[in-house]
Amino acid sequence: MANHHEQTYKTFTLAHQCQPILLATELTSLAFCKDYLVYEHHDEWAIGINKLTQLTVSSSGEITDFNGYKRRVKPTKICQTIHQATQTLNIKDWRLFGRADFEFCRFAHNLQQQETSRELLELFVPETDIRITKKRIVIRTMDDTVLPQIQSIIADCTNNTTATEHCHTALTQDDILHAQAVKQHFQESVRSAVEEIKEHKYNKVILSRVAILPANVDSKKSFIEGRRKNTPARSFMLKLGEIEAFGFSPETVLEVDEHGNLSTQPLAGTRALPDDPQAAILLRNELLTDPKEIAEHAASVKLAVEELTQICPSSTVNVAEFMQVSERGSVQHLASRVTGNLSEGKSAWDAFNVLFPSITASGIPKREAIDAIARFELLPRGLYSGSVLVTDHNGYFDAALVLRTAYKHQSVSLLQAGAGIIGLSTPEREWEETGEKMACVLDHLVFEKGQEKHHLATDTVPADSILCEEKS
């Protein structure tokens, strides 16, 4: 029986001759675009613009559903409740865009949350939902008055094949605010974590450090420049309220198709990827033979298999790719892919509940590693090592791991990178690895007009705001 109150998008399909990334970024500059999430998946750019309806989860575990109703459930049941809420959406062929902070994972592992006014998860059905491929743009919108603005952007972009002028200043690790204090704290944390690993408190933990930049970045220009220089699994750019970020994700947390086939993509083990081909090959061979990197990677794949057996029949779980080398911008990783088929009665949200956060952004075992991260890192991670995702009414679910990302909040721009710590780790090498990963973004930043490398005085941002002081 048809639902006569179901909301329906108006759909328009247009041809274009634009560079998809330029078209995507220009569309987010339109006057009507207040909130947006751009998500690149293979050869398609998906854009969700403005919030028709949304679901959020607060740090206290309170769910505000798509109808605005608030409720609480057991922390371990939050993902199941989210799935149930999506099944009540009264929007034909709905698609959701969203993000989950790293701390959202504490619910699934029954760990106490630190109270914050920031929502740990938000999902929204967009007012305007756009998909861009090489030659076509499909626009679904609840407000067709936006169509002339979109058509105008397409016309402006059609013959724009000239590279955007980027005035960017090369930065090094010495340019980040309080660089020496950050380095000292990070390396001390690595030493302490190695001791805890040797005491068998856990097997592996990913520790990260923040780099606050000396000037504010231009997100859209930096996104375009960085995408040209990176080879990500997914890329994204978003502005949701006060949260602004763009990144080049090296791996996915979870991929599910409409038939329930799923996969996860652990990357663990890293070396730099220099421009010199011979040097790159030497580092690749070193990566493939380094006992520390191989041990770290094998442990991650083993846990991924164990996690998939919680949501898939064990007979369907398979290591489809093992310890291949994946090139991601300024670094190369050991990469594997573990696949399976969702068990009957399980949804993609059940899978997300198990697989999030990524093993390669938390540690082994996950619960103990997540607890250790909160002890060693002096502030919540927020979006770093969380997820940006797209899901739809057919069961499709695609969640990127938020790494190799720049973040903006008011007048502060920052980066964050981590390294996997095991018993064989050394503070010096782990610091070096975070710098190699950070270079994927740091080397391609474009600053806002009128800003220079040292425009932001170092005393405007206190050290404790960038993880330089001990917790009380």
| Residues with catalytic function | 251
In sequence order, what are the residues at sequence separation of 6 or more whose Cβ sits closer than 8 angstroms to the Cβ of residue 92?
6, 7, 8, 9
In this structure, what token pair is assigned to residue 71?
């409720």
In sequence order, what are the residues at sequence separation of 6 or more whose Cβ sits closer than 8 angstroms to the Cβ of residue 398?
39, 41, 234, 252, 254, 255, 256, 389, 390, 391
3-state DSSP assignment of residue 42:
coil
Contact between 425 and 194 under an 8 Å Cβ cutoff? The reply is: yes
3-state DSSP assignment of residue 187:
helix
Residue 315 DSSP one-character state: G
Closest CA to 358 of 366, 350, 347: 366
In this structure, what token pair is assigned to residue 309?
């057996």
Peptide bond into 313 cis (omega under 30): no
In this structure, what token pair is assigned to residue 174?
């010495």
Task: Specify the length of the chain in residues.
Answer: 472
d(CA 247, CA 270): 19
d(CA 28, CA 77): 35
Contact between 363 and 203 under an 8 Å Cβ cutoff? The reply is: yes
d(CA 361, CA 404): 12
* Chain centre to alpha carbon of residue 45: 16
DSSP string spanning 270-312?
EEE--SSHHHHHHHHHHHHH-HHHHHHHHHHHHHHHHHHTTTS
- Backbone phi, psi, residue 366, to 5°: -65, -45
d(CA 222, CA 446): 5
3-state DSSP assignment of residue 375:
helix
Ramachandran sector of residue 302 (left: φ over 0; alpha: ψ -120 to 50; beta: rest)? alpha
**Paired residues of 64 in beta bridges:** 56, 70
3-state DSSP assignment of residue 178:
coil
